Amino acid sequence: MTPIEKEQTAEAKAPRHVAIVMDGNRRWAAKRHLPKKLGHKAGVDAVRKIVRAAGDLGVEYLTLFGFSSENWNRGPEEVSDLMGLLRLFIRGDLAELHQNGVQIKIIGERTHLDPDIISLIEEAETLTADNTNLHLVIAFNYGGHLEIAAAVRRIAHKIANGEIKPDQITPDTIEAHLDTAGIPHPDLVIRTSGEKRLSNFLLWQSAYSEFIFTDVLWPDFTKDTLADAVSEFRSRDRRFGEG
């Protein structure tokens, strides 16, 4: 194989969609004897860097797990801090993201979110809807089980209304009713901080994803860390269940 052919093959193996479980903000703060709030703030700073890095590395879709539906069980002060950081991120970064051609989509339940946060989310999605340089998906108040249950409810309503018959339901039917409808499945799922589990993240979508678990805490995750993960992904032989 010629060097050009090798380069083309490597490029073909590059992940189109990278999804990241951003874990380790609190441990990062604890190691530095800082309050949790500063750990989460450092995590937002890392988000900014990785959004830029993803585009530079040729990633088309970047999904970030920002706030789990289970995170409501954390202390009220920490939850309030996380909500405040989402507000600051959208208000402070939306103009730059839009200018750089980033399309923003937020997936997850919006029922329990404050009205001003819902308005900010809708503004961000509407403003950036036609952008194509990078598709940034933020999973906020998201849980994979809740997403699948909601999809089943939507399908059930259509059955009740006579729009579809039960024997017409296929995996594609379910796919079309998920929060991520129209978004390609993640080729690569990364989790930081050393934990080795999905934690209810993109359960349906990650059926054939490659997984990389790194000990790096999320605030310390850099473009080089992402580039290393992409390089490892390219070295893998994806078989999609074919043996």
Catalytic residue flag (residue 161): no
Active-site residue among 25, 45, 71, 116?
Answer: 71
Reading the block at residue 9, the tokens are 């093959």
Catalytic residue flag (residue 45): no
Phi, psi of 159 (to 5 degrees): -65, -45
Active-site residue among 23, 81, 93, 187?
Answer: 23
Contact 69, 108 (CB under 8 A): yes
Distances (CA, A) of 89 to 31, 95, 138, 209: 25, 11, 12, 28
Burial classification of residue 217, based on how many CB atoms lie within 10 Å of its CB (0-12 exposed, 13-18 middle, 19 or more buried): buried
* Residues in the chain, overall count: 243
Contact 198, 27 (CB under 8 A): no
Which residues form the catalytic set? 23, 71
